[in-house]
Amino acid sequence: MDLLKNKILSEGIALSDNVLKVDKFLNHQIDPELMVEIGKEFHARFKDDKITKVLTLESSGIAPAVMTALNFNVPAVFARKRKSLTFTNDLLSAQVFSYTKQETNMISVSNQFIQPGDNILIIDDFLANGEAAGALISIVEQAEANVAGLGIVIEKSFQSGASILKNRNYRVESLARIKSLTDGTITFAEDTE
């Protein structure tokens, strides 16, 4: 998606070899017009899939997820991050391991919002090692719903998440795929890579 790639090149900062800062339009300040276009693009890619809900993880996934859901005319649901492991039987939960923080956190969705028979499009802002995506998939499957695919705003193709998900036969549609952030330079992967 050229609009997004140009935004990443003009406003993104390669903070290190593996972290891209996009606080100007995605992770802190949000560009609404870009979010509208992102929603249209995910809709175009999954329009034949009979999506019944969009699922994301708070907080940065919410803006692209809502704009996507608007185009499908379905609700957007966001998993909440929970600090306690307290068991409650109306929650679908899964663990997310954070490499940067070296800790495991629970995320949860009320079972009233994902039901058997739902066809779920998972949206997230970043795909790095696939921990958050894997947890969202687990929640959908616990609900006996179907994962139609994953829509990712920015995939870091040099990390393991995209290949793990594709090896598990999930459809991954990433709007920008970053091959490298080495030496402060942002390099995109070709569509064939």
**101 labelled as ligand-binding?**
no
Binding mask 120-149 for ligand G4P (x = CB under 6 A): -----xx-xx-x------------------
Contacts of 109 (CB under 8 A, 6+ apart): 55, 77, 79, 80, 91, 92, 93, 139, 143
**Length reported for the chain:** 193
- What is the 8-class DSSP label of residue 74? S
Cis amide bond preceding 59, omega within 30:
yes
CB of 59 to Na ion, least distance (A): 7
**129 labelled as ligand-binding?**
yes
> How many Cβ atoms from other residues are within 10 Å of residue 99's Cβ?
11
d(CA 189, CA 168): 21
The one of ligand G4P, Na ion, none whose footprint includes residue 21, by CB under 5 to 8 A per kind, is ligand G4P
Angle separating helix axes 2-11 and 32-46, nearest 10 degrees = 140
Binding residue for ligand G4P (CB under 6 A) from 8, 22, 54, 120? Answer: 22
**156 labelled as ligand-binding?**
yes
The one of Na ion, ligand G4P, none whose footprint includes residue 98, by CB under 5 to 8 A per kind, is ligand G4P
Binding span for ligand G4P by CB under 6 A among 20-28, 47-55, 163-171, 184-192:
20-28
Closer to ligand G4P by CB, 52 or 61: give it: 61
Angle separating helix axes 62-72 and 32-46, nearest 10 degrees = 50
Binding mask 90-119 for ligand G4P (x = CB under 6 A): --------xxxx------------------
**To 5 degrees, how large is the angle CA 93–CA 97–CA 99?**
160
Residue carrying structure tokens 């705003």: 153
Closer to ligand G4P by CB, 52 or 60: give it: 60
Residue 157 makes contact with ligand G4P by CB under 6 A: no
Binding residues for 5-phospho-alpha-D-ribose 1-diphosphate: 128-132
